[in-house]
Structure 1
């Protein structure tokens, strides 16, 4: 995942219209550190054209607040410049991947 530090940078990536996943995490979040490699692996395997970015919400609070993210981990998925899915803390990775299959195939 590419590290994001500014709202302008991530907004420019979303505005390309491509599939974008943003993973909001924090340094001292044990759930974040366990979930991140699973998400990276499954997204890379199932959705190779989806771009993945990570925002350290504890360090870059302005980015997290811009996307109204107040709990971590939170995952946002964008298709065609629009937020399609917002998933927080408790999630099934397999169900999350399944929910993204159809829209990904429609937009890519």
Structure 2
């Protein structure tokens, strides 16, 4: 995926989760299935995109991702939530519930 393709996706979708991880990041690999499960259930219209930060250096630099894991949620084409390192899935879910509901009803 190129940066231009990603930006087009962000503009065209209700919401997008960018999940930046790394090949040697154990935390990234442990959190990914948990995020997928919650987003599949709670936010099915948010497109989930998983990127290796090192393999996608141009995209990582554009979104100023300097550590992994980093999760960025875009709603209506704009960055809404950004979490990194010490991520609280519960806190992120709570932040997204109301705006997601308003956007999708």
TM-score range, shorter chain: over 0.9
Task: Give 3-state SS (helix, strand or coil) of 1:71's partner.
Answer: coil
Residue 12 of structure 2 aligns to a residue whose secondary structure is coil
The alignment yields a C-alpha RMSD, in angstroms, of: 1.0
Q: Provide the secondary structure at the position in 1 that maps to 2:51.
A: strand
Q: How many residues align?
A: 104
Shift of residue 17, structure 1, vs aligned partner:
4.5
Deviation at residue 91 of structure 1 after TM alignment: 1.5
Give the number of the structure whose residues are more often helix, by fraction: 2
The gaps in structure 1 that reach 5 residues or longer are: none
Find the residue that maps to 1:75 and give its secondary structure: strand
Q: Could you tell me the TM-score, scaled by structure 1's length?
A: 0.91
Paired residue for 1:86, among 82, 86, 94?
Answer: 82
* Alpha-carbon distance in structure 1 between the residues aligned to 2:101 and 2:17: 15
TM-score (norm. length: structure 2): 0.94
**CA positional deviation for 1:22:** 0.5
Q: Note the alpha carbon deviations across 1:69-98, whole angstroms, 9 max, x for none.
A: 111100000111110011111122122111
Q: Deviations over 1:23-65 (max 9, x none)?
A: 0001000110000000000010101111000111011111100
2:2 aligns with: 6
Does residue 46 of structure 1 match 2:39? no
Unaligned runs of 5+ in 2: none
Equivalent residue for 2:94, pick from 94, 98, 101: 98
Q: Quick check: 86-95 or 71-80, which moved more?
A: 86-95
Moved over 2 A (4+): none
Correspondence for 1:23 among 19, 24, 30: 19
